[in-house]
């Protein structure tokens, strides 16, 4: 059953952003491998995989929170990529980050847009974006 949670989480994370998920698991492997498992199990296996809210909506919540907090740049960068992978367009992501400015201030948005720009630059623009 715990295996199931981990498997379910790994499947979700692989679909969202396999590269970032594996990089994080590897980074944690020699200091806190159990915590890497918990990320798979709790974050992705328990929360992200719940019915009742689409993955697109979950990514909007996630990048909004990370942009507002302003102290979790690696996670914001990874999940802006996840948001793209989930089908949010560049314009939608940009709008979400602008929305954050009302509640968390202009620097939160400017700094998040700087990260978004870096993510967007890493891949060819598709017709959709």
Q: Which is nearer to a copy of itself, 18 or 26 (CB)?
A: 26
Q: How far is the CB of 66 from a copy of itself (least distance, A)?
A: 6
Interface ranges with a copy of itself (CB under 8 A): 1-2, 5, 24, 27-28, 30-32, 34-35, 38-39, 42-43, 46-48, 50, 52-53, 57-58, 60-62, 64-72, 74-75, 91-92, 94-111, 113-114, 116-117, 120
Distance of CA 58 to the CA centre of its chain: 9
């Amino acid at each position: 059953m715990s295996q199931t949670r981990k498997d379910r989480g790994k499947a979700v994370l692989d679909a969202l952003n396999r590269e970032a998920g594996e990089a994080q698991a590897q980074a944690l492997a020699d200091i806190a491998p159990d915590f890497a498992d918990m990320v798979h199990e709790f974050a992705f296996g328990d929360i992200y995989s719940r019915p009742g809210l689409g993955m697109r909506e979950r990514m909007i919540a996630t990048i909004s929170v990370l942009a507002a907090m302003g102290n979790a740049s690696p996670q914001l960068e990874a999940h802006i990529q996840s948001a793209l992978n989930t089908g949010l367009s560049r314009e939608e992501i940009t709008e979400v980050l602008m929305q954050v400015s009302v509640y968390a201030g202009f620097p939160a948005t400017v700094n998040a847009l700087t990260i978004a720009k870096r993510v967007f630059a890493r891949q060819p623009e598709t017709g959709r974006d």
